[in-house]
Structure 1
Amino acid sequence: MDDRITAGAIVAWRPSLNARIGGLVTASYQSALSSSVALDEAYLTLRPSPGDALRLSGRAGLFYPPISLEHDSSEWSLARSITPSAINSWVAEEVKTAGLELTLRTGLAGRPAGLTVAGFQGNDTSGTLLAFRGWALHDLRATLKSELPLPPVPTMFVGKQAPWTQPVDEVDGRWGVYGRLDLSPADALDLSVFAYDNNGDRTTVVNGQYAWRTRFVQVAARWAPDTRTEVLVQGMQGETSMGRPSEGVNPADIGFQSAFVLVSRDLGDSAITTRLEQFSTDDRSFKARDNNAEHGWSATLAWTRPLRDTLEFVIEGVLVSSDRPDRIRLGTDRRQENFRLTTALRASF
């Protein structure tokens, strides 16, 4: 069991330039990641014009795409637990973009609907951690200049891939795109489909940082069966690859999948949340040298208790079980089970 004490903080500035144009700048401190404060997000916002049947909004700058249902508290933070799901842990560390996003909201057959499209750069290395390390559950998030450590890379990448990855990095000069479709077929049900393609040039490498071609699709749902219960569902499937083809395949090429169901219940003076999830990767190249396949599951139980208006206590247990053959190359057991108990005090000002 890990008995370390860690600390984190997010400071936000929300300027308002006029009735429709504003902004957000956040800086974060994460003791488990760095000893300094770093830029987290920074973007201008376009607010919709009141009363319009077609409501246009947007963002321009450095921001997380609208993927996570769990990060719906202020400044892209968590409200129900300490640790996000495997999907959203990966998004937090490897899917931050610098670009322009536009959202159009209207009604469709009398129900709310929305369409979001974006063009972005700065996310070329997305997929590095997922391929070389695998899925992880943690509360870390990439900042503008983050350098996240990698496990020892296979021999074919030694001297080419740096021993770390920079999640926010533009390597090939190409633009990626993503889109999201939202529909609320009932008052208590919100559905969305999200598609992402960073359009990376697999053969470009600069200062040990490769451009990966990473694509995925996600379906998600938020359901409130009653006023005190909330159900969140996310399911993601995609692929990522890099390098110049050899023997007809890319040096690194994996498919990845994950899904979770989260149920949160308001108990009046506290809230309890449980989450079950599955995650996996399928290695498509050179398995005899480094088999990056992985299969696992996780269960999370969290209890949140407000102590006052600006302070809350959270206790969480996370059980993770996974099988990853490449761990043998690193001198550890391929099959591992880990349980982590975490407590937190969260303050807001």
Structure 2
Amino acid sequence: MRAVYAHADQSWTREGLGKLRYDGSNDGLRLGQAMLRGQAELADTVSATLVLSAEDDRNGIVDVTEAWLRWSPLPSGPWKTSVRAGAFFSPMSLENNGIGWTPTRTISTSAINSWIGEELRTRGLEVSTVRRGRMLGQPHDVGFSASVFDGNDAAGSLLAWRGWSISDRITGLSEPLLMADLPVYRPDGRLKKQWRSIRVFKEIDDRIGFQLGAQYGYGGWLELAATKYDNRANPTIIKEGQYSWRVRFEHVSARVRAKGWEVLFQAMDGQTWMGAPGAGVDFRAWFLLASHPVGAGKVSLRYDRFKLREDDVVPEDPNGEHGGAVALAYARPLTPKLTLVAEALAVDSTRPARALLGDAPHQRESSVTTSLRWRF
């Protein structure tokens, strides 16, 4: 549960182009998230996981966010291998380490991880293997992963037509997302074939995408990772009101722990387009987060930068934007099951498409949120 005060443009969750999850018309006392995770051991080396989530700004309230089977055979040496099959999040995020892929240091997440929660999900097969250095008396850990998936063909729609957000909202696997009521999507608009309701996990072109990753760790205090993602969607197909978007990007991350400090860094650079080659946007974002214990809790400060560079043949559909955000949060356990988190968030962004809704292209948005998290 959370208490929210927001000074913000109309939120994207309410058909606007605001960057925050809540604005002045839907702040107050809210059910931010409720997660129920069930796990079952089906055999000595096989387990099943199901994650249900509830949010009060979702039609239907409850949805499935993840569901997978894992095979994790006992290692005979320093290499540990596991296989997952189903629908699950990529292990890219350094922020979302709580139950149901929720953040624990802050209330909101960075632009990168907000977008991952909104539009990306691996629905397929993932193989990962890690060489544990301690098994060899070494400080070096090395890992590799590869996955193939379908059903992420409409991903990129929200990023291009709404832009980045700073939020913690996680899209359910069957949940539609509603775009802003821009003229270009209306019956007489240039993109009238696209429904305003986006089905981000829909399979449109029957092509398989892939993701490759590599990780390196040293001595428990340094972790580095790199990821290559390509959904291989055919951008010339539209099916049942949904355009197929080709999405590909590179992602890198780093985590450093030293003297009580924890520093996280993630950066993403890529392209998404539909229709003719180049009819889309180039996207880029990065953030730096630092955390340190203070009293019985932990203070975290995050700085974000994000940008979309338009490469579009539809002048009445401006998709470029740039901006940044700062979040300051304090998380303090009250009991072993109850945690209090407070966060101040400020976002400064410019998106020309806001003028089509009668709003100023440049907006400064802010919120102050207090969250009470109960874990059982």
Contact 1:97 1:168 in 2 (8 A): no
What is the 5 A alignment of 1:25-64? 25-64=50-89
Question: Residues 96 and 142 of structure 1 are in contact (CA less than 8 Å); yes or no, is this contact kept in structure 2?
Answer: no
Is 1:144 matched up with 2:168? no
Pick the aligned partner of 2:194 from 137, 158, 161: 161
Aligned match of 2:264: 232
Which amino acid in 2 is paired with 1:42? A
The yes-or-no answer on 1:329 pairing with 2:356 is yes
2:234 aligned partner, one-letter code: D
What is the aligned partner in structure 1 of residue 163 from structure 2? Answer: 134
| Aligned counterpart, 1:124 | 153
TM-score, normalised relative to structure 1: 0.94
Query: 1:229 Cα shift?
Result: 1.4
1:225 partner amino acid: A
Per-residue deviation, 1:144 = 1.4
Aligned length in residues: 342
Q: Distance in 2 between matches of 1:339 and 1:75?
A: 26
Which of the residues 307, 324, 331 maps onto 1:280? 307
* Distance in 2 separating the partners of 1:185 and 1:304: 28
SS of 2:113's partner is helix
- Identity of paired residues, percent? 33
Deviating more after overlay: 198-207 vs 1-10:
1-10
Match for 1:293 among 320, 325, 328? Answer: 320
Matching of residue 6 in structure 1 with residue 33 in structure 2: no
Distance 2:303 2:313 in 1: 32
Q: Distance in 1 between the 2:261 and 2:270 partners?
A: 31
1:268–1:217 distance in 2 versus 1, CA, 3 Å: same
Q: Which moved more, 1:320-329 or 1:282-291?
A: 282-291
* 1:61-100 alpha-carbon deviations (Å, 9 max, x no partner): 0111111110112331211011010100000000012100
**1:233 is matched by which residue type in structure 2?**
F
Aligned-pair CA distance for 1:36: 2.7
Alignment partners' CA distance in 2, 1:53 and 1:345:
41
Structure-2 separation of matches of 1:303 and 1:34: 31
Q: Tell me the SS of whatever aligns to 2:353.
A: helix
C-alpha separation in 1, matches of 2:77 and 2:243: 44
CA change 1:225–1:48 in 2 (3 A) is farther
- Structure 1 position 54, deviation (Å): 2.0
The amino acid that maps onto 2:347 is V
Q: Deviations along 1:283-338, whole A, 9 cap, x unmatched?
A: 01136322211110000000111111100111101100001111112211100000
Query: How far did residue 339 of structure 1 move?
Result: 0.7
- Compute the displacement of 1:186 (Å): 4.1
Partner of 1:181: 214
Q: Is the 8 A contact 1:126 1:214 kept in 2?
A: yes
Give the drift of 1:271.
0.8
Which gives a bigger RCO, structure 1 or 2 (Cα 8 Å, sep 6+)? 2
Indicate conservation of the 8 Å contact 1:200/1:213, yes or no. yes
Superposition TM-score, scaled by structure 2 size? 0.88
Amino acid of the structure 2 residue aligned with 1:43: W
Task: Assess if the C-alpha contact under 8 Å between 2:37 and 2:99 holds in 1.
Answer: no
Secondary structure at the aligned position of 2:285 is classed as: strand
Q: Deviations over 1:244-295 (max 9, x none)?
A: x2xxx55x41000000000011224111110001000000113632221111
Supply the distance in 2 between the matched residues of 1:305 and 1:287 (Cα, whole angstroms). Answer: 49
2:35–2:99: 8 Å Cα contact kept in structure 1?
no
- The residue identity in structure 1 corresponding to 2:82 is S
2:142 to 113, 116, 119: 113
Q: Aligned partners of 2:104, 2:126: CA distance in 1, in Å? A: 25
Which of the numbers 89, 94, 105 marks the counterpart of 1:69? 94
Q: Any conservation in 2 of the 1:132–1:292 contact (CA below 8 Å)?
A: yes
Q: What are structure 2's unaligned runs of at least 5 residues? A: 1-5, 7-23
- Aligned equivalent of 2:203: 170
Q: Quote the Cα distance in structure 1 between the aligned partners of 2:229 and 2:112.
A: 14
